[in-house]
Structure 1
Amino acid sequence: MRPADRDRCRFRVTSFCAALIILSSLVFCVSGLNASYYVYENASSYHASVDIQNLDGFEFLQPGILGEKVPLEVSNVSLAYENGTNATFEDKGRSITFEKGNYTAGYDAELKNKDFQVLFDNFYNVTLYLPKGYDVRNPLLGTVSTGGSATENNGTVQIDWTRKSYAEARFYDAFQVEILTIFGTFWIALVAVFLVPYILSRRKSQ
């Protein structure tokens, strides 16, 4: 009987260890790495804060026309340890190198035509913060790539993606909304000018 008890004990220990491994992998999958982007007020550039895990180098990349990886021109580069203190690194122009470990990289990059795009070698939880006066939620003017959701807090729009290696958002300003409103009003008025006389003539003929 004693060997059977030992077998049961081993089975329980093995099951417990397997459950711990699965649980830890699920927690890692949900949490992942984080990347935050803050668009400046003039919408001509943004500041990035990107997690780096167990690496000794980091490339600044953006998606090309065909979705390929293209070097990204950046400025104001910084590197910090997990506790927030500054870390030393070697700037190689379109990439940086450093002692292998976990860090947060910060940098500024240019935005063109209010079109935000990022590309990663890993899965990231991505957050984009738009300043007041900019939005992305009108489908006629803005777009958000698959999996992104937009919310508003005190006039600031925030777009979130969970575990993505690519994210894109095309946003707009209040002037573009005004132009769209004027354009829509013009076409509604134009349709009314031609449609109302037609309806009245049909009624008279009947």
Structure 2
Amino acid sequence: MRTPDRDRCRSAIAALCAALVISLVGIPVAGALSAEYIVLPNGTAYHATIEIADAARYEFADVGFMGEKVPLPVSNVTLTGDCTPCNFTWSRPWGAPSVIMFDKGNYTVSYLAPLSGNNLQGQFIRPYSVAVTIPGEFSVKNPLLAGMSQGANVTHHPDNTTSVRWEKTTVFNVRFYDQWHENMLWFFLQFMAILTVILVVVPYLLSMKKAE
């Protein structure tokens, strides 16, 4: 006599599980978003392609000296997603990062931004998979000249380009250098070696000779 109740209970549980699965499908998976940065050959700019999920705005901000947000000048901004075209409006408050606003959803934002000091960095409010491509005239091999934030995976390609990747990170930083900086480093090290010989080794040898 209680079999129908058990069947109704099982049906209710199955329906609940199905509803839960459906609801989870619409939630972006943590860490699944990606951001790609391509440094241009002259090293003075980069092209960024960044995925955003369940968003209605995107702020163009860089990381300041103290870790604060500072305005990032950008150009060639595009927004792509499940729309043709994907329209957006600008908000450019004085002294603050500019913002684009659009209908809430999942998109990809692309833009061109200036780069100085051979240093690229960024931060996110959720974990991202980040990929940075560095052109062949730059390198990250010498630790005295280059630097990367924790978790970086470096790949050197046959065409001399370099790929640096981070998985599920909220902040990244990569510093690279060109041949001129490497030449200047070796010149400095050689100069310091010669100076050490003149100021330390030679006086020591002379003092030892006098002592004899």
Cα-to-partner distance string for 1:96-139 (whole Å, 9 max, x where unaligned): 11222111100011112112121222211111111111112322
Cα-to-partner distance string for 1:142-187 (whole Å, 9 max, x where unaligned): 1111222322112011111111221111211110000111111222
Match of 2:181 in 1: 176
Separation in 2, partners of 1:41, 1:166: 24
- 1:81-160 to 2 correspondence within 5 Å? 81=81, 86-93=85-92, 94-153=98-157, 154-160=159-165
Q: Which moved more, 1:153-162 or 1:86-95?
A: 86-95
Structure 1 gap ranges (5+): none
Query: How many Å apart are 1:140 and its aligned residue?
Result: 1.0
* RMSD value, Cα: 3.4
Name the CA shift for 1:149/1:82 in 2 (closer, same or farther; >3 Å).
farther
- 1:24-63 to 2 correspondence within 5 Å? 28-29=29-30, 31-63=31-63
AA aligned to 1:61 is A
Separation in 1, partners of 2:166, 2:130: 5
AA aligned to 2:49 is S
Q: Would you say the 8 A contact 1:81–1:102 is kept in 2? A: yes
Name the CA shift for 1:60/1:201 in 2 (closer, same or farther; >3 Å).
same
AA aligned to 1:32 is A
- The 4+ residue runs of structure 1 with deviation greater than 6 A are 203-206
Identity %: 37
Name the CA shift for 1:37/1:189 in 2 (closer, same or farther; >3 Å).
same
Structure 2 gap ranges (5+): 93-97
TM-score normalised by L of structure 1: 0.77
Match of 2:95 in 1: none
Count, aligned residues:
191
Cα-to-partner distance string for 1:31-63 (whole Å, 9 max, x where unaligned): 521000011111111000000111121111211
